[in-house]
Structure 1
Amino acid sequence: MTAKTPPETYYAGAYWGARKESPEECARRTAEFLTLLAPSEPFLSQWYLPTRSSRESREHPLMPPDVPTLTDQFRLGVNREKGGPVIERLGYGFWFGNGGRDYDRASLRIYSGGYSEAGSNSCVLTLPTLGRSPNAERVITAPVLTEVVRSMALAWEPDWAVAMSHAHRDLEDEAAKADVWLGWVTYLARQRGTVPPLPAPVRIEPVVNRGTLIVLTPERFTVANPEHIALARHVRDLLARAGLMPRTTV
């Protein structure tokens, strides 16, 4: 009997370099992100403070976002050596979820306000698992993930952002040797350069005056589809030639 292949798991993440921000500024950006994210899908419209159990968490909603509450959470997530002073340059961390359980949940991990050149800032959204979550089929679609990445771009002003499967990310790591992953949905900030014309079915959308969204396929992108992988590699080559995704030297 052939072992059943586990489903691909998907996530979305925004990434940016050193940017000094206070806990209040991190909280304001988080509140903006949650507000922009909520209309994209009901499953992503409710969030709760972290507690010892998911049942308890629902007693402490974060929606609508309250900046003073979020500020307190970022202050609690400050980096420090055990028993030592705050390491301000490493910024602040905050993790919370949408109250779901096991494979049927979403969670957010935010590291923001860091200004050490050795580190980075990020906002990463973990998504429910296809085949194991009643919500995943609805959430893991091009329209929803496009709005997720757009919300990240507007709220966090990252250098780049992506929505993709972990399996696709592993392929990108192995083949591209670049500092940016090209995913199912990718955002590139304006300062990276101008996105060139790309072949169908790829869709390109501006994000106000911030940058550009690239959506590879209207259907779900999967590494099990060789046409999807071929398309991604072709688009990456075009973006590399345009200077938007230069490969790193090894």
Structure 2
Amino acid sequence: MNETYHVGSYWGPRKETPEACALRLGAFLTGLRDVDPSFTQWFQTGRSRKAALTRPIGLEPAELERLVRRGKDRVVEEIGFRVDGWNGVEDDHDASGFLVTCGSHAPRVSNACAVTLPSRGPNANRVVTAQVLAGLLRAAAVAWEPAWGIATSQAHRKLLDERGVRGAPRVGWVTYLEVHRGVVPPLPAPVRIENVEGRGALITLTPERFTVANPEHMALAERVGELLAGAGLMQPVSP
């Protein structure tokens, strides 16, 4: 099975101004530059690849604020702002993108930062690793201050969504949990726990590529989920 992978960070209602969202977006994109070379440049999406390549996303606060303001819902103010980008890689299978919803304070619209990852090619070979996925979640944690985040395969994510509680964290290949949830208990080898600037913890299940086809990986994810739930760290973000 050729599994594809996804990174997502999530937080509850948080009313923020376009200026505040722009500052967070700038911090996120700046942080991504240190994660992988394919994340150093982003473009606004357009009707065609050629059109998108003429619209690079700069990191100047004023430009980012204009970008955020253009993503404002024109009907429901509480929904906040949506911003997306593409890294300009010609081969769709080897390209990455991001989609952010921020500033939402509507009860039914979650704030989130999602990154789509390459499925095959030179970038995919570098990006779909425990180290890079942890770097992506770290950059999101520092910039967006989410309640939790996950990096795992789409197949695993689908299984988790089918069994999980709406709004509650899930355990993936790499998981982020904010510090306010509590202390991460001791976890079995080869799980690695890293502190993220006092904001929360990154939990990496295995240094090798996680896949649902590996029963040991699935058993480890299940066991870690049980331990985290037992420590009270897996409650839903909001009622």
What's the TM-score bracket when you normalise by the shorter of the two chains?
Answer: over 0.9
| CA contact 2:178–2:199 (8 Å) conserved in 1 | yes
Counterpart residue number, 1:104: 94
Q: Structure 2 length as normaliser, TM-score?
A: 0.93
* Structure showing greater Rg: 1
1:214 aligns with 2:208: no
Counterpart residue number, 1:40: 35
- 3-state DSSP of counterpart to 1:128: coil
Cα distance in 2 for partners of 1:122, 1:99 equals 22
Matches within 5 A, 1:85-96: 87-96=76-85
Shift of 1:246: 4.3
Partner amino acid, structure 2, of 1:150? R
Matches within 5 A, 1:124-139: 124-130=114-120, 133-139=121-127
Shift of 1:212: 0.6
| CA contact 1:95–1:108 (8 Å) conserved in 2 | yes
Q: Structure 1 length as normaliser, TM-score?
A: 0.89
| CA contact 2:44–2:85 (8 Å) conserved in 1 | yes
Counterpart residue number, 1:241: 230
| Large movers: runs of 4+ above 4 Å | none
Shift of 1:219: 0.7
Cα distance in 1 for partners of 2:95, 2:217 equals 27
1:190 aligns with 2:185: no
1:52 aligns with 2:47: yes
- 3-state DSSP of counterpart to 1:49: coil
Percent pairwise identity: 49
| CA contact 2:170–2:225 (8 Å) conserved in 1 | no
Q: Pick from 110, 114, 136: which aligns with 1:120?
A: 110
Counterpart residue number, 1:168: 156
Counterpart residue number, 1:74: 68
Partner amino acid, structure 2, of 1:25? A
- 3-state DSSP of counterpart to 2:8: strand
| CA contact 1:55–1:99 (8 Å) conserved in 2 | no
Partner amino acid, structure 1, of 2:118? P
Alignment RMSD? 1.6
Count of residue correspondences? 235
Bigger drift between 53-62 and 190-199 goes to 53-62
Structure 2 unaligned blocks of 5 or more:
none
Structure 1 unaligned blocks of 5 or more:
82-86
Cα distance in 2 for partners of 1:60, 1:175 equals 41
